[in-house]
Amino acid sequence: MIHLYTGNDAELLKQEALKEISKNCEGELNDFNFADFDMYNDLIQDAVSACETMSFTTGKKYVIVYNNYFLSSTVDKAPANWTKRQDLDAFDEYIKHENPNCELYLLVPGKLLADRSSKLIKSIKAKAKFIAMPDLKTADLIGLGMSYVGQRNADIDRESLFEVINRTGEDYLSLTHALDKLLCYSNNIRMEAVDALIFPKLEDNVFSIIENLFKSNVKKSIKGYRDLTSSGYNVIALLPVFASQLRFIYKVAFLLSVGENEIEISKALQCNPYRVRITRSIAGKYSNKAVLDIMSDLGDIENHIKFDGDNPDILLEVFMVNFRRKYLLRKGI
Protein backbone atom coordinates (compact mmCIF):
# COMPACT_ATOMS: atom_id res chain seq x y z
CA MET A 1 0.00 0.00 0.00
CA ILE A 2 1.15 3.53 -0.78
CA HIS A 3 0.29 6.33 1.66
CA LEU A 4 0.83 9.97 0.66
CA TYR A 5 0.91 12.67 3.35
CA THR A 6 0.79 16.36 2.43
CA GLY A 7 1.06 19.40 4.68
CA ASN A 8 3.11 22.48 5.48
CA ASP A 9 4.82 21.15 8.61
CA ALA A 10 7.39 18.53 7.56
CA GLU A 11 8.05 17.37 11.13
CA LEU A 12 4.36 16.80 11.77
CA LEU A 13 4.13 14.68 8.59
CA LYS A 14 7.02 12.59 9.89
CA GLN A 15 5.48 12.12 13.32
CA GLU A 16 2.08 11.16 11.89
CA ALA A 17 3.64 8.58 9.55
CA LEU A 18 5.72 7.08 12.36
CA LYS A 19 2.66 6.94 14.61
CA GLU A 20 0.71 5.08 11.93
CA ILE A 21 3.58 2.65 11.33
CA SER A 22 4.03 1.96 15.06
CA LYS A 23 0.31 1.25 15.38
CA ASN A 24 0.29 -1.28 12.53
CA CYS A 25 3.70 -2.90 12.89
CA GLU A 26 3.89 -6.34 14.49
CA GLY A 27 6.80 -6.18 16.90
CA GLU A 28 9.67 -3.70 16.98
CA LEU A 29 10.90 -1.69 14.02
CA ASN A 30 14.44 -2.57 12.98
CA ASP A 31 16.83 -2.44 10.04
CA PHE A 32 15.15 -5.48 8.48
CA ASN A 33 11.57 -4.21 8.39
CA PHE A 34 12.01 -0.44 8.29
CA ALA A 35 13.91 2.08 6.16
CA ASP A 36 13.68 5.81 5.61
CA PHE A 37 15.04 8.10 2.90
CA ASP A 38 15.34 11.88 2.50
CA MET A 39 15.13 12.99 -1.12
CA TYR A 40 17.46 15.94 -0.52
CA ASN A 41 20.16 13.43 0.47
CA ASP A 42 19.09 10.03 -0.93
CA LEU A 43 18.06 8.70 -4.34
CA ILE A 44 14.54 7.50 -5.05
CA GLN A 45 15.82 4.33 -6.72
CA ASP A 46 17.39 3.31 -3.39
CA ALA A 47 14.00 3.74 -1.74
CA VAL A 48 12.43 1.63 -4.50
CA SER A 49 15.01 -1.07 -3.91
CA ALA A 50 14.18 -1.07 -0.20
CA CYS A 51 10.47 -1.41 -1.01
CA GLU A 52 11.14 -4.43 -3.20
CA THR A 53 13.28 -6.18 -0.58
CA MET A 54 11.37 -8.51 1.74
CA SER A 55 11.45 -8.16 5.51
CA PHE A 56 13.26 -10.99 7.33
CA THR A 57 11.42 -10.52 10.62
CA THR A 58 7.77 -9.73 9.82
CA GLY A 59 5.36 -10.10 6.96
CA LYS A 60 5.35 -6.37 6.28
CA LYS A 61 8.06 -3.87 5.47
CA TYR A 62 7.72 -0.13 6.14
CA VAL A 63 9.47 2.55 4.11
CA ILE A 64 9.21 6.32 4.60
CA VAL A 65 10.38 8.74 1.92
CA TYR A 66 10.74 12.30 3.24
CA ASN A 67 10.90 15.60 1.35
CA ASN A 68 9.55 14.46 -2.00
CA TYR A 69 10.33 17.83 -3.54
CA PHE A 70 9.67 16.54 -7.06
CA LEU A 71 6.02 15.98 -6.06
CA SER A 72 5.57 19.43 -4.51
CA SER A 73 4.78 22.72 -6.22
CA THR A 74 5.87 24.96 -3.34
CA VAL A 75 9.05 23.71 -1.65
CA ASP A 76 12.64 24.37 -2.73
CA LYS A 77 13.89 22.03 -5.45
CA ALA A 78 17.15 20.15 -5.19
CA PRO A 79 20.02 21.22 -7.50
CA ALA A 80 19.49 20.16 -11.11
CA ASN A 81 22.53 17.84 -11.10
CA TRP A 82 21.07 15.99 -8.10
CA THR A 83 17.59 15.71 -9.61
CA LYS A 84 19.10 14.24 -12.80
CA ARG A 85 20.39 11.35 -10.69
CA GLN A 86 16.89 10.56 -9.43
CA ASP A 87 15.43 7.64 -11.41
CA LEU A 88 11.84 8.81 -11.41
CA ASP A 89 10.93 6.32 -14.14
CA ALA A 90 11.87 3.46 -11.82
CA PHE A 91 9.75 5.06 -9.14
CA ASP A 92 6.80 5.36 -11.50
CA GLU A 93 7.18 1.72 -12.48
CA TYR A 94 7.18 0.66 -8.82
CA ILE A 95 4.00 2.63 -8.14
CA LYS A 96 2.25 0.78 -10.96
CA HIS A 97 3.52 -2.60 -9.73
CA GLU A 98 4.01 -2.14 -6.00
CA ASN A 99 5.13 -4.82 -3.57
CA PRO A 100 1.97 -5.84 -1.65
CA ASN A 101 4.10 -6.67 1.39
CA CYS A 102 5.49 -3.16 1.67
CA GLU A 103 3.83 -0.09 3.19
CA LEU A 104 5.33 2.96 1.48
CA TYR A 105 4.82 6.39 3.08
CA LEU A 106 5.47 9.38 0.82
CA LEU A 107 5.73 12.70 2.68
CA VAL A 108 5.20 15.74 0.47
CA PRO A 109 5.79 19.14 2.12
CA GLY A 110 3.73 22.04 0.80
CA LYS A 111 1.24 21.62 -2.02
CA LEU A 112 1.04 18.64 -4.33
CA LEU A 113 1.82 19.15 -8.01
CA ALA A 114 -1.10 19.23 -10.42
CA ASP A 115 -1.85 16.10 -12.45
CA ARG A 116 -1.00 17.76 -15.74
CA SER A 117 2.53 18.67 -14.63
CA SER A 118 3.62 15.24 -13.39
CA LYS A 119 2.93 11.74 -14.63
CA LEU A 120 4.03 10.51 -11.21
CA ILE A 121 1.09 12.30 -9.62
CA LYS A 122 -1.30 10.54 -12.00
CA SER A 123 0.19 7.16 -11.11
CA ILE A 124 0.16 7.88 -7.39
CA LYS A 125 -3.43 9.14 -7.39
CA ALA A 126 -4.52 5.89 -9.01
CA LYS A 127 -2.92 3.77 -6.28
CA ALA A 128 -2.31 5.75 -3.09
CA LYS A 129 -4.25 6.62 0.03
CA PHE A 130 -4.09 10.40 0.55
CA ILE A 131 -3.83 12.08 3.95
CA ALA A 132 -3.83 15.91 4.01
CA MET A 133 -2.55 17.32 7.30
CA PRO A 134 -4.14 20.69 8.18
CA ASP A 135 -2.01 23.66 9.21
CA LEU A 136 -1.41 23.71 12.93
CA LYS A 137 -3.12 26.43 14.92
CA THR A 138 -1.98 27.69 18.30
CA ALA A 139 -4.57 25.53 20.07
CA ASP A 140 -3.27 22.44 18.21
CA LEU A 141 0.32 23.21 19.20
CA ILE A 142 -0.70 23.70 22.83
CA GLY A 143 -2.26 20.24 22.83
CA LEU A 144 0.77 18.68 21.13
CA GLY A 145 3.15 20.52 23.48
CA MET A 146 1.27 19.42 26.59
CA SER A 147 1.30 15.83 25.35
CA TYR A 148 5.01 16.00 24.45
CA VAL A 149 5.97 17.25 27.91
CA GLY A 150 3.57 14.87 29.69
CA GLN A 151 5.01 11.83 27.90
CA ARG A 152 8.36 12.77 29.44
CA ASN A 153 6.90 12.82 32.96
CA ALA A 154 7.22 16.60 33.20
CA ASP A 155 4.89 19.56 33.55
CA ILE A 156 4.45 22.93 31.84
CA ASP A 157 1.75 25.53 32.44
CA ARG A 158 -0.28 26.92 29.54
CA GLU A 159 1.14 30.44 29.85
CA SER A 160 4.71 29.18 29.51
CA LEU A 161 3.82 26.86 26.64
CA PHE A 162 2.01 29.66 24.81
CA GLU A 163 5.13 31.82 25.11
CA VAL A 164 7.37 29.01 23.83
CA ILE A 165 5.07 28.58 20.82
CA ASN A 166 5.15 32.31 20.18
CA ARG A 167 8.94 32.43 20.35
CA THR A 168 9.46 29.41 18.10
CA GLY A 169 7.26 30.67 15.28
CA GLU A 170 4.43 28.14 15.59
CA ASP A 171 6.56 25.41 14.04
CA TYR A 172 6.28 21.89 15.49
CA LEU A 173 9.94 20.93 15.04
CA SER A 174 11.16 24.19 16.58
CA LEU A 175 8.67 23.71 19.42
CA THR A 176 9.91 20.21 20.26
CA HIS A 177 13.55 21.36 20.14
CA ALA A 178 12.73 24.22 22.51
CA LEU A 179 10.86 21.90 24.87
CA ASP A 180 13.79 19.47 24.86
CA LYS A 181 16.07 22.32 25.92
CA LEU A 182 13.70 23.32 28.71
CA LEU A 183 13.33 19.72 29.90
CA CYS A 184 17.10 19.53 30.37
CA TYR A 185 16.72 22.46 32.75
CA SER A 186 13.62 21.45 34.71
CA ASN A 187 10.74 18.97 34.83
CA ASN A 188 8.47 21.77 36.05
CA ILE A 189 8.68 24.38 33.29
CA ARG A 190 7.59 27.93 34.10
CA MET A 191 8.13 31.38 32.58
CA GLU A 192 11.43 31.90 34.42
CA ALA A 193 12.96 28.99 32.48
CA VAL A 194 11.42 30.15 29.19
CA ASP A 195 12.87 33.66 29.62
CA ALA A 196 16.28 32.22 30.51
CA LEU A 197 16.58 29.67 27.69
CA ILE A 198 14.28 30.53 24.76
CA PHE A 199 15.09 33.79 23.03
CA PRO A 200 12.24 35.78 21.49
CA LYS A 201 12.07 36.00 17.71
CA LEU A 202 13.68 39.04 16.14
CA GLU A 203 10.24 40.39 15.21
CA ASP A 204 9.14 40.14 18.84
CA ASN A 205 12.25 41.97 20.04
CA VAL A 206 11.66 44.75 17.51
CA PHE A 207 7.98 44.95 18.41
CA SER A 208 8.98 45.27 22.07
CA ILE A 209 11.25 48.21 21.17
CA ILE A 210 8.44 49.90 19.25
CA GLU A 211 5.93 49.14 22.01
CA ASN A 212 8.17 50.87 24.55
CA LEU A 213 8.60 53.84 22.22
CA PHE A 214 4.84 54.24 21.87
CA LYS A 215 4.58 53.99 25.67
CA SER A 216 7.35 56.61 26.07
CA ASN A 217 9.71 54.09 27.72
CA VAL A 218 12.74 55.41 25.84
CA LYS A 219 15.33 53.81 28.14
CA LYS A 220 13.83 50.35 27.61
CA SER A 221 13.71 50.91 23.84
CA ILE A 222 17.35 51.93 23.68
CA LYS A 223 18.38 49.00 25.88
CA GLY A 224 16.42 46.60 23.64
CA TYR A 225 18.08 48.08 20.57
CA ARG A 226 21.55 47.80 22.10
CA ASP A 227 20.86 44.19 23.11
CA LEU A 228 20.08 43.38 19.48
CA THR A 229 23.15 45.10 18.04
CA SER A 230 25.40 43.47 20.66
CA SER A 231 23.96 40.12 19.55
CA GLY A 232 25.28 40.73 16.03
CA TYR A 233 22.35 42.40 14.26
CA ASN A 234 23.24 45.49 12.22
CA VAL A 235 20.94 48.45 11.68
CA ILE A 236 20.48 47.84 7.94
CA ALA A 237 19.12 44.37 8.77
CA LEU A 238 16.89 45.73 11.55
CA LEU A 239 15.27 48.63 9.70
CA PRO A 240 13.07 46.45 7.42
CA VAL A 241 11.82 44.63 10.53
CA PHE A 242 11.02 47.98 12.15
CA ALA A 243 9.13 48.99 9.00
CA SER A 244 7.19 45.70 8.96
CA GLN A 245 6.09 46.14 12.57
CA LEU A 246 5.04 49.75 11.94
CA ARG A 247 3.05 48.72 8.86
CA PHE A 248 1.20 46.26 11.10
CA ILE A 249 0.44 49.04 13.61
CA TYR A 250 -0.83 51.28 10.80
CA LYS A 251 -3.09 48.53 9.43
CA VAL A 252 -4.56 47.85 12.87
CA ALA A 253 -5.11 51.56 13.52
CA PHE A 254 -6.77 52.03 10.13
CA LEU A 255 -9.09 49.03 10.54
CA LEU A 256 -10.06 50.22 14.01
CA SER A 257 -10.83 53.68 12.58
CA VAL A 258 -13.34 52.18 10.12
CA GLY A 259 -15.15 50.25 12.84
CA GLU A 260 -13.61 46.75 12.68
CA ASN A 261 -13.36 44.85 15.97
CA GLU A 262 -10.33 42.95 17.27
CA ILE A 263 -11.52 39.52 16.09
CA GLU A 264 -12.27 40.79 12.57
CA ILE A 265 -8.87 42.52 12.43
CA SER A 266 -7.01 39.41 13.63
CA LYS A 267 -8.67 37.38 10.87
CA ALA A 268 -7.93 40.02 8.22
CA LEU A 269 -4.26 40.29 9.26
CA GLN A 270 -3.91 36.58 10.12
CA CYS A 271 -2.56 37.19 13.60
CA ASN A 272 -3.43 36.45 17.22
CA PRO A 273 -6.21 38.70 18.65
CA TYR A 274 -3.97 39.33 21.65
CA ARG A 275 -1.46 41.11 19.42
CA VAL A 276 -4.22 43.30 18.00
CA ARG A 277 -5.25 44.18 21.55
CA ILE A 278 -1.69 45.19 22.49
CA THR A 279 -1.32 47.23 19.30
CA ARG A 280 -4.60 49.00 19.99
CA SER A 281 -3.48 49.93 23.50
CA ILE A 282 -0.12 51.39 22.41
CA ALA A 283 -1.21 53.22 19.26
CA GLY A 284 -4.19 55.10 20.67
CA LYS A 285 -2.35 58.40 21.20
CA TYR A 286 -0.80 58.43 17.73
CA SER A 287 -2.64 59.35 14.56
CA ASN A 288 -2.49 57.26 11.40
CA LYS A 289 -0.52 60.07 9.77
CA ALA A 290 1.99 60.04 12.64
CA VAL A 291 2.66 56.33 12.04
CA LEU A 292 3.25 57.05 8.33
CA ASP A 293 5.63 59.87 9.30
CA ILE A 294 7.54 57.47 11.58
CA MET A 295 8.00 55.04 8.68
CA SER A 296 9.07 57.88 6.38
CA ASP A 297 11.65 59.10 8.91
CA LEU A 298 13.05 55.57 9.28
CA GLY A 299 13.43 55.50 5.49
CA ASP A 300 15.40 58.74 5.67
CA ILE A 301 17.62 57.24 8.39
CA GLU A 302 18.30 54.23 6.15
CA ASN A 303 19.31 56.54 3.28
CA HIS A 304 21.64 58.55 5.53
CA ILE A 305 23.32 55.34 6.71
CA LYS A 306 23.67 53.84 3.23
CA PHE A 307 24.59 56.89 1.17
CA ASP A 308 26.00 59.46 3.60
CA GLY A 309 27.93 57.12 5.87
CA ASP A 310 26.26 58.48 9.03
CA ASN A 311 26.65 56.60 12.32
CA PRO A 312 23.65 54.23 12.54
CA ASP A 313 23.63 53.94 16.33
CA ILE A 314 23.54 57.71 16.81
CA LEU A 315 20.76 58.14 14.25
CA LEU A 316 18.56 55.42 15.75
CA GLU A 317 19.07 56.50 19.34
CA VAL A 318 18.37 60.18 18.52
CA PHE A 319 15.23 58.97 16.71
CA MET A 320 14.14 57.14 19.88
CA VAL A 321 14.94 60.05 22.22
CA ASN A 322 12.86 62.45 20.08
CA PHE A 323 10.04 59.98 19.46
CA ARG A 324 7.48 61.24 21.98
CA ARG A 325 8.13 64.94 21.33
CA LYS A 326 7.93 64.53 17.57
CA TYR A 327 5.01 62.15 17.08
CA LEU A 328 2.81 62.02 20.17
CA LEU A 329 -0.60 63.72 19.98
CA ARG A 330 -0.06 64.96 16.45
CA LYS A 331 -3.22 65.66 14.51
CA GLY A 332 -3.75 63.70 11.33
CA ILE A 333 -6.09 61.63 9.30
Domain at 271, CATH number:
1.20.272.10
Assigned domain for 148 exists: yes
Average pLDDT along the chain = 87
Assigned domain for 151 exists: yes
Nearest to 277 by CA among 300, 261, 257, 290: 261
Assess whether 105 and 207 both reside in one domain: no
Assigned domain for 153 exists: yes
pLDDT for the residue numbered 57: 67
Tell me, what CATH number does 183's domain have?
1.10.8
E runs forming strands in the chain: 2-7, 34-38, 61-66, 102-109, 129-132, 155-156, 188-189
Assess whether 279 and 312 both reside in one domain: yes
Assess whether 162 and 275 both reside in one domain: no
Assess whether 234 and 176 both reside in one domain: no
The domain in which residue 300 lies consists of 202-327
Assigned domain for 333 exists: no
Assess whether 290 and 193 both reside in one domain: no
Assess whether 72 and 34 both reside in one domain: yes
224 vs 26, residue with greater confidence: 224
Distance CA 247, CA 271 (A): 14
Assess whether 209 and 314 both reside in one domain: yes
Distance CA 287, CA 331 (A): 6
- The DSSP code sequence of 168-190 is TTS-HHHHHHHHHHHHHH-SEE-
Tell me, what CATH number does 75's domain have?
3.40.50.300
Assigned domain for 332 exists: no
**Tens digits of per-residue pLDDT, 128-185?**
999 998 888 888 889 989 999 999 999 999 989 988 988 787 778 889 989 999 999 8
Burial 262-297 (b: 16+ CB within 10 A, else e): beebbeeeeeeeebbeebbebbeebbbebbebbeeb
pLDDT for the residue numbered 333: 38
Q: Is the pLDDT of residue 201 over 80?
A: no
pLDDT for the residue numbered 295: 92
End position of a domain, from candidates 174, 197, 220: 197
**Tens digits of per-residue pLDDT, 21-40?**
988 887 788 888 899 999 99
Assess whether 224 and 244 both reside in one domain: yes
pTM, two decimal places: 0.57
Assigned domain for 177 exists: yes
Domain count, the chain: 3
Assess whether 114 and 162 both reside in one domain: no
Distance CA 172, CA 170 (A): 7
**Tens digits of per-residue pLDDT, 229-266?**
887 778 888 888 888 889 999 999 899 888 888 888 88
**Tens digits of per-residue pLDDT, 280-314?**
888 878 888 889 999 999 999 999 998 888 999 99
Assess whether 218 and 322 both reside in one domain: yes
